[in-house]
Structure 1
Amino acid sequence: MGLSVVGAVVLVGALVVATVVGLVLQRRSGRVRRAAPAEDRPHGWDLAGVAPEPDDRVLLLQLSSPICTPCARTREQLGALAGDHPDVRHVEVDIAERPDVARALHVMRTPTTVAFDRAGAELLRVGGVPRRADLVAALPLEETR
């Protein structure tokens, strides 16, 4: 009988830990995190494999994977944002084809969106599907079209 009590306690403990971890991950998903200043960060436009056009001020680099369901929602969100703001460029990178980009940016999950300024410096990053209003508030954007 003592073994079943210990087993029940272990099971309840595991469920509590799993619930707390799940709630923390859910709460962090989609939140905008500002980049810490650093001189040794990779250049965003180079990682995306594109050069900024004359009007580009912000690059939204989306890191996706082939089996990522939320990546499609992120693609729609970022594409619409770039369509509404002439100074924003959206580029999606498949990390299955370009694992070097994920390594350079220390990205461990998809989708992850990393925003860079025109000079290639990281502005912010979002793990999960970004909230459009949060991105608009956090990015240095021009007026909408």
Structure 2
Amino acid sequence: MSVTGLLVVLAVLVLATAAGLVMRARAGRLRTGGGAAGGWALAGLAPATDEQVLLLQLSSPICAPCRQTAAVLGELTDRSQGIVHREIDVADQPDVARELGVMRTPTVVAFDRAGAELLRVSGVPRAAELELALAPALGLA
């Protein structure tokens, strides 16, 4: 292998490692300030009187972290009143992912009762952080 070829391989390895570290650091981190709206309609739902927050999970069929995310959100909805969890397969409904600007799965977008975005998480969310961030929308803060 030539010196140039070796340098190219090393550069690719360094860039791939850096990209992986950035993705790992961002995974599971809550982000607020998104401007998406109409979350309940995108999920094909209307909020019932006791439903305050929709957790819309965008998943894909071969995504292992998507199953972990579904379990975390299922446990959260089981122990918290006012939260609804709906999972959408982006392979079946790519228009929802496009509408929300979702580029990877799993991504969870939380919407308030009016359908406005509260927060989003790419990767597996941390249940305690999610509960704390949703408390104001649930009237618990």
What TM-score does the superposition give when structure 2 sets the normalisation length? 0.92
Which residue does 1:127 correspond to in 2?
122
Bigger radius of gyration: 1
**Cα distance in 1, alignment partners of residues 139 and 33 from structure 2:** 21
Q: 3-state DSSP class of the match of 1:50?
A: coil
**Cα distance in 1, alignment partners of residues 6 and 61 from structure 2:** 39
Which residue does 1:7 correspond to in 2?
5
Q: Which runs of 4+ in 1 moved over 6 A?
A: none
Which residue does 1:68 correspond to in 2?
63
**Cα distance in 2, alignment partners of residues 10 and 109 from structure 1:** 28
Which residue does 1:48 correspond to in 2?
43
Shift of 1:6: 1.6
**Cα distance in 2, alignment partners of residues 108 and 120 from structure 1:** 21
Which residue does 2:90 correspond to in 1?
95
Larger CA deviation: 110-119 vs 3-12: 3-12
**Cα distance in 2, alignment partners of residues 100 and 108 from structure 1:** 12
- The one-letter code of the counterpart of 1:21 is A
Shift of 1:95: 1.3
Which residue does 1:35 correspond to in 2?
33
**Cα distance in 1, alignment partners of residues 3 and 63 from structure 2:** 40
Structure 2: which 5+ residue stretches go unaligned?
none
Which residue does 2:16 correspond to in 1?
18
Output the aligned Cα RMSD.
1.4
Shift of 1:35: 2.5
Q: 3-state DSSP class of the match of 2:66?
A: helix
- Kept after mapping to 2: 8 A contact 1:58/1:87: yes
Shift of 1:83: 0.8
How many residues are matched?
Answer: 138
Shift of 1:42: 3.2
